[in-house]
Chain A
Amino acid sequence: MTTDTQHQHLAALLARSALGDRGAFEEVYRATRSKLFAVSLRIVRERQLAEEVLQDSFVSIWNHASDYAQARSAPTTWMTAIVRNRSLDVLRRGAHETEDVDEMLALNLVDESASPARDLEESEDLHSIRHCLEELEAEQRQSIALAFFHGLSHSELALHMRKPLGTVKTHIRRGLMRLKDCLGKRGTTLDGRG
């Protein structure tokens, strides 16, 4: 399936879920669980926690399936945002001590932003963000990728990158604003006041 027809298929399944169709919802789960589990696992770093996040997220997706129509994003984007927010909430509960982070990161982190394209069916959106990330300075790109994929906070990033906190905050802020300019130029404009 192309990404567009996949989106349409998932959107239709979500619409049926909103009406109480559990079979349709199970299909949504089957189609997205492994990607979404990977997203959460990277951020919360423990399987047990990631399983809880996935459960809570899907219960929330079921409860809010009727809101999806208003979201106007791709279904996977909408669902990924729910899983990411839930994962970050779990981190917020203080499940992780900063001390562990440095060592663990040194062993486990990969710079996803630098990985080559794997998908032939890469979506237009993914193509845009990858292209724009490549235009950033290395440290801006690295800090944004670490924050996005691994849920690192400013201070965890500072520890990991061995940079002062202020420097890391600047990398992130400037990197994000350059991304905005680049993505804006590529025609994927924001709604609202952007």
Chain B
Amino acid sequence: MRQFPVTLQHALAAEYVLGTLRGRARQRFERLLRSDRGLAAIVRGWEDWLTPLAANLAPVEPPARVWQEIAARIAPRAAAAPASFWSSVGFWRGLGTALAVALVALVVLFPRTQPAAEAPSMVAVLTTPEQDPRMIVERHADKLMVRMVKPWTQMPGQDLELWAIPKDGKPRSLGVVRYDADTEVRLANLDLKLTDSVAFAVSREPTGGSKVEGPSGPVLCSGVIARTQRA
């Protein structure tokens, strides 16, 4: 990797922290930061120097809905109790009843762009723990369509990962999906991945997907699968 002289490192770090380093240069610098500890230390130093200035700002109270949304998005830590979360009976039962209504509403509200012959064999509406519908997953003959109800906010260095939840509760990855648009998931072993699946879920993961077996980040939304015809 290219090494910058210390003065240049400081100049770049300072403008990064100040916010005037923009666009591609900022992205390149962020990539560099992840691999260069020395540079990261210089950035931290500039943050220590400049950010106390923010204490000067007059506080502004955010509306209560901000915390509600945060609370809904910080699901129990997957690392702390993966099994109990994914297999919790109450979790699925609560989800099932609330979803019946949302499912009907959404399937009616979202007009099908494909002809009826291509009707999906499985549908799931994924909602947040607050029952806010965010994504719809449809099983078609050769693919899954992941449709966006309400886009997520992109977070740098993070991706959304789709999971199939089988009866035994151990999530199977279906890969990374887009945060702001529909995604087509085409997998050679799709049938295998979906065997005995009862639900889909989406979690926030490091770029490229979870580095461990199963989800490592918070579950953003999930939904039970409804089979619309004999699959």
List residues of A whose CB falls within 8 A of some B CB: 19-20, 22, 25-26, 29, 33-35, 37-39, 41-43, 50-52, 54-56, 58-60, 62-63, 71-74, 76-78, 80-81, 84-86, 88-89, 92-93, 112-113, 115, 118-119, 122-123, 125-126, 128-130, 133, 144-145, 147-149, 151-154, 157, 172-173, 176-177, 179-180, 183, 188-194
On whether A176 and B18 interact (CB within 8 A), knowing A37-B60, A191-B45, the answer reads: yes
- CB pair B41 A192 closer than 8 Å: yes
- CB pair B153 A56 closer than 8 Å: yes
- Interchain Cβ contacts under 8 Å between A and B, 7 examples: A26-B67, A129-B49, A148-B19, A148-B50, A173-B11, A194-B10, A194-B42
- CB pair A59 B74 closer than 8 Å: yes
Q: Mark interface residues in B70-111 (1 if CB within 8 Å of A CB, else 0).
A: 110110110010000000000000000000000000000000
List residues of B whose CB falls within 8 A of some A CB: 6, 9-11, 14-15, 17-20, 22-23, 26, 37-42, 44-63, 65-67, 69-71, 73-74, 76-77, 80, 153-156, 204, 217-218
- CB pair B55 A54 closer than 8 Å: no
In the docked arrangement, what's the CA distance between A128 and B45, Å?
Answer: 14
Closest to B55 in A: A126
Closest to B45 in A: A190
- CB pair A92 B49 closer than 8 Å: no
Pick from B23, B49, B57, B60: contact of A149, CB below 8 A: B57
Pick from B15, B26, B54: contact of A35, CB below 8 A: B54
- CB pair A80 B42 closer than 8 Å: no
- CB pair A88 B19 closer than 8 Å: yes
- CB pair A63 B67 closer than 8 Å: no
A33 to chain B, nearest CB (A): 6
- For B14, B53, B67, the residue with the greatest tally of chain A CB atoms inside 10 Å of its CB is B53
- CB pair A172 B49 closer than 8 Å: no
Closest to A73 in B: B48
- CB pair B49 A192 closer than 8 Å: no
Closest to A77 in B: B51
- CB pair A112 B53 closer than 8 Å: yes
The 9 closest A-B pairs by CB, nearest first: A190-B45, A192-B41, A34-B59, A125-B52, A126-B52, A191-B41, A176-B14, A37-B62, A38-B57
B223 to chain A, nearest CB (A): 20
Query: Which residues of chain B have C-beta atoms less than 8 A from A148's C-beta?
Result: 18-19, 50, 53
In the docked arrangement, what's the CA distance between A152 and B15, Å?
Answer: 12
- CB pair B6 A193 closer than 8 Å: yes
- CB pair A129 B38 closer than 8 Å: no
In the docked arrangement, what's the CA distance between A66 and B116, Å?
Answer: 50
- CB pair A129 B42 closer than 8 Å: no
- CB pair A176 B15 closer than 8 Å: yes
- CB pair A38 B60 closer than 8 Å: yes
B216 to chain A, nearest CB (A): 10
- CB pair A63 B45 closer than 8 Å: no
- CB pair B48 A179 closer than 8 Å: no
- CB pair A125 B49 closer than 8 Å: yes
Pick from B6, B71, B154: contact of A22, CB below 8 A: B71
In the docked arrangement, what's the CA distance between A112 and B58, Å?
Answer: 10
Pick from B42, B55, B63, B153: contact of A193, CB below 8 A: B42
- CB pair B42 A29 closer than 8 Å: no
Closest to B37 in A: A192
Closest to A25 in B: B74
B35 to chain A, nearest CB (A): 14
Pick from A41, A59, A126: contact of B70, CB below 8 A: A59
Query: Which residues of chain A have C-beta atoms less than 8 A from B47's C-beta?
Result: 73, 77-78, 81
- CB pair B204 A43 closer than 8 Å: no
- CB pair A172 B15 closer than 8 Å: yes
In the docked arrangement, what's the CA distance between A33 and B44, Å?
Answer: 22
In the docked arrangement, what's the CA distance between A128 and B156, Å?
Answer: 32
In the docked arrangement, what's the CA distance between A157 and B50, Å?
Answer: 19
On whether A71 and B45 interact (CB within 8 A), knowing A37-B62, A55-B153, the answer reads: no
On whether A151 and B42 interact (CB within 8 A), knowing A20-B77, A22-B71, A126-B53, the answer reads: no
